[in-house]
Amino acid sequence: MKKLLLAFLLLATNILLFATSAAAQAEQPEMADAMRSNGKIYVVVVVCLIILFGLIGYVIRIDRKLSKLEKQTRD
């Protein structure tokens, strides 16, 4: 229980630190504007989506394999 609480507190601290640094930099996101004007922001979005879908597919595949192994061990 202590480990779970510690992990939650660390996560909350990390999120708060990220939010404060993001708020401080919210005035001029120069890199995002430059990438958007060049059309490269879409490449970044596509790459992030490919990675996300790959991870989701990997998790689904592992879940199916584990379910199959659990079913075999019960029989």
Q: Where are the domains of the chain?
A: 1-28, 39-75
What is the value of pTM for the model shown? Answer: 0.52
Full pLDDT tens readout for the chain, 75 residues = 777 777 878 778 878 777 776 555 556 667 777 777 777 888 888 999 999 999 999 999 999 999 999 999 998
pLDDT of residue 9: 80
Q: Which residues of 12-42 are buried (b: 16+ CB within 10 A; e: fewer)?
A: eeeeeeeeeeeeeeeeeeeeeeeeeeeeeee
